[in-house]
Amino acid sequence: MQRCVVVGRRCPSSSSAIIEKNEREKKKKCSRRFRRSSTVVGNNNDNDDDGRRRNQINLKANERANERRKQAVIELSKREEACKGYCNLCGKTHTLERTREAEEVAKALLEKLRKQKSVSDEDESGQFLVEDVYDQRTGGKMIGVLLCETTTTTTTTNTSERKVLKAFSGQWMGEWVVPGWCPPLARLTHDSLEYIEEREKIEKLSEEIKKLEKEASWSSSGSSGTAATAVTELKTKRKNMSRALLERIWDSYSLPSFRKERKMSEGDDDDNSDNSNSSSIRSSSDIKNNRRKLVELNIRKCYYGDASKLPCGCGDCAAPKLLAECARKGWKPIAIAETWMGPNVKRGAGLREEGVFYGACLERCRPILGHMLCDAALELE
Ligand SMILES: [Zn+2]
Ligand SMILES: [Zn+2]
């Protein structure tokens, strides 16, 4: 898995890593605050009892939160809850169900993958090993299939054909792109040149900070004060650069819906348009005789909720990748199925069991699926 320079640790996704770092810092501050308050009051037995009671209350609150999450997972696992979200544009909730047929296709995919060496359709280099997904410590992946329909029109006939798309959530063992699987929705990922260059700059700052800190610890008190000021300044600079990088990552998420708008004029096909444009409307080159454009929006524009607080990994799950690919190909989505592949997860928030079907998540998927499913039920033109 990719080690993120910004936080210097393994990260499930580049954007998540930066946000997670901020969350960790917040938690550290909280625990420091808690320790301080414990020290002040922790000098007699009464207060020890208070601490124990507080811990018990916290444990119970955690148990209740886990139970609520468990119930939410069970609720979202219902077939009719598989993929849905509120659409700001229509003021309606759009839904795509999980059908038995989709479940069968997902099960068959799981079986097929388990018999293969690599999860990639084209690669046998050992880069995408199936056995990695079954690693007890780091393995496990949500995979999804989307049953789609496409029509071939000739002057006399109209033929429908079934297609299947497959996607995994997040990265596959550190890789965003795996042959045969739907690509990520973010243009800026850890393997993009833009990200790598920015990452190098942040790495250099980290080295400089380390050097200065070392120097300060050896020098006299006068010069160590100057070094400390320089370290603080550099740390602020690094923090701002990390934040700016995170913003650029969010800027690069482009989400299509099945809604189409008429082209403004002839010849304004913008297949080469930059996805980072926050409200870009991109034409799909895959739609034959297409006289309309797909509506693509930046993730902040289609997120139902407070877009300034996009959750980590929003747009990286299997469902949004599947719908985006389907819309860009000009196909119609028929049904979806998402299941877990790998070791079972028993943690309260996780609760994943191989072969069991799950619905798109509440925090990251539902707020964007309303936009992505808009006009998905319309017949193909
Ligand atoms: Zn999700
Ligand atoms: Zn809509």
Q: What is the DSSP string of 310-328?
A: PPTTTT-SHHHHHHHHHHH
Query: What integer is the mean pLDDT of 277-288?
Result: 44
The CA distance from 127 to 249, in Å, is 25
The CA distance from 338 to 352, in Å, is 11
Distance 303 CA to ligand 2 centre (A): 13
Distance 177 CA to ligand 2 centre (A): 29
Residue 315, pLDDT score = 97
Interval 311-343: pLDDT, tens: 999 999 999 999 999 999 999 999 999 999 999
Distance 335 CA to ligand 1 centre (A): 16
Interval 214-268: pLDDT, tens: 877 776 665 667 778 888 999 999 999 999 999 999 999 999 999 987 665 544 4
Residue 381, pLDDT score = 67
Distance 318 CA to ligand 1 centre (A): 7
Q: Tell whether the model's pLDDT for residue 44 goes beyond 60.
A: no
Query: What integer is the mean pLDDT of 151-173?
Result: 90
Residue 94, pLDDT score = 96
Q: Tell whether the model's pLDDT for residue 43 goes beyond 60.
A: no
Burial state string for 174-186 with b = 16 or more CB within 10 A and e = fewer than 16: bbbebeebbebbb
The CA distance from 258 to 196, in Å, is 33
Residue 326, pLDDT score = 97
The CA distance from 249 to 169, in Å, is 17
Residue 28 CB contacts under 8 Å (≥ 6 apart), including other chains? none
Ligand at minimal distance from the CA of 93 is 2
User: Which percentage of the chain shows pLDDT scores above 70?
Assistant: 76
| Of the candidate ranges 155-159, 168-172, 260-264, 268-272, the one whose mean pLDDT is the lowest | 268-272
Ligand at minimal distance from the CA of 321 is 1
* DSSP H or E stretch at residue 300: helix 299-302
Distance 261 CA to ligand 2 centre (A): 13
Beta bridge partners of 142: 340
Which of 259, 275, 264, 297 has its CA nearest to residue 376? 259
The CA distance from 28 to 15, in Å, is 20
At 156, list the tokens. Answer: 């006399």
Q: Would you tell me how many other CB atoms lie within 10 Å of the CB of residue 380? A: 14
Q: Tell whether the model's pLDDT for residue 275 goes beyond 80.
A: no
At 89, list the tokens. Answer: 């544009």
Token pair 């770092």: residue: 21
Query: What integer is the mean pLDDT of 154-169?
Result: 91
**336 and 288 Cβ atoms separated by less than 8 Å:** no
Distance 86 CA to ligand 2 centre (A): 8
Query: What integer is the mean pLDDT of 120-128?
Result: 74
Residue 166 CB contacts under 8 Å (≥ 6 apart), including other chains? 109, 143, 144, 145, 146, 180, 181, 182, 322
Q: Tell whether the model's pLDDT for residue 55 goes beyond 90.
A: no
Question: Which one has a higher pLDDT value, 215 or 361?
Answer: 361
Interval 6-33: pLDDT, tens: 333 334 344 444 444 444 545 554 444 4
Burial class (CB in 10 A: 0-12, 13-18, 19+), 312: middle
Label residue 39 by pLDDT band (50, 70, 90): very low
Query: What integer is the mean pLDDT of 61-75?
Result: 80
Residue 113, pLDDT score = 94
Residue 170 CB contacts under 8 Å (≥ 6 apart), including other chains? 12, 13, 141, 313, 316, 317
Residue 62, pLDDT score = 82
Residue 264, pLDDT score = 54
Residue 207, pLDDT score = 94
Question: Which one has a higher pLDDT value, 59 or 36?
Answer: 59
What is the SS3 assignment for 116?
coil
Mean pLDDT, the chain, whole residue set: 81
